[in-house]
Amino acid sequence: MKLVQTNKAPSAIGPYSQAVVANGMVYTSGQIALTPEGIMLEDDVVMQTKQVLANLQAVLEEAGSSMDKVVKTTIFIASMDDFAIINEIYEQAFGSHKPARATVAVKTLPKNALVEIDAVALV
């Protein structure tokens, strides 16, 4: 088992790793709209979703994977009203690759983020 850490994505804000590689798979922790410097982006779902996906990509790459090797994602959103716009940005990030996915509306996310995404991918 290998713990993943990159300075191209924000450090974990709790007692966990950005990702773990085990048995040819990478399991990422949920990414929110923190910049790599730890600054939370403003209350804008478009900007936040783009930052979340950039963070996810950086963690995957550090783990020896990529967005096109993602098998499954989970998206946590603060409001189902944002579902359509998050889908558009998500589709841009993944292109023709369409991993399995669950999307869950939640009451509150860390740092009052509007969106959080985690992933499981091949290495």
The fold of 2-122 is 60s Ribosomal Protein L30; Chain: A; (3.30.1330)
Specify the pLDDT at position 82: 97
Specify the pLDDT at position 86: 98
pLDDT digits (tens, 9 = 90+) for 25-45: 999 999 999 999 999 999 999
pLDDT digits (tens, 9 = 90+) for 46-88: 999 999 999 999 999 999 999 999 999 999 999 999 999 999 9
Angle at 60 between CA 28 and CA 68, to 5 degrees: 110
The residue ranges of every structural domain in the chain are 2-122
The model's pTM: 0.96
DSSP codes of every residue in the chain: -EEE--TTSPPPSSSS-SEEEETTEEEEPPB-SB-TTSPBPPS-HHHHHHHHHHHHHHHHHHTT--GGGEEEEEEEES-GGGHHHHHHHHHHHHTT---EEEEEE-S--GGG-SEEEEEEEE-
Specify the pLDDT at position 16: 95
Specify the pLDDT at position 13: 85
Backbone angles phi, psi at 4, to 5 degrees: -105, 135
pLDDT digits (tens, 9 = 90+) for 84-110: 999 999 999 999 999 999 999 999 999
The residue with tokens 């998050």 is 86
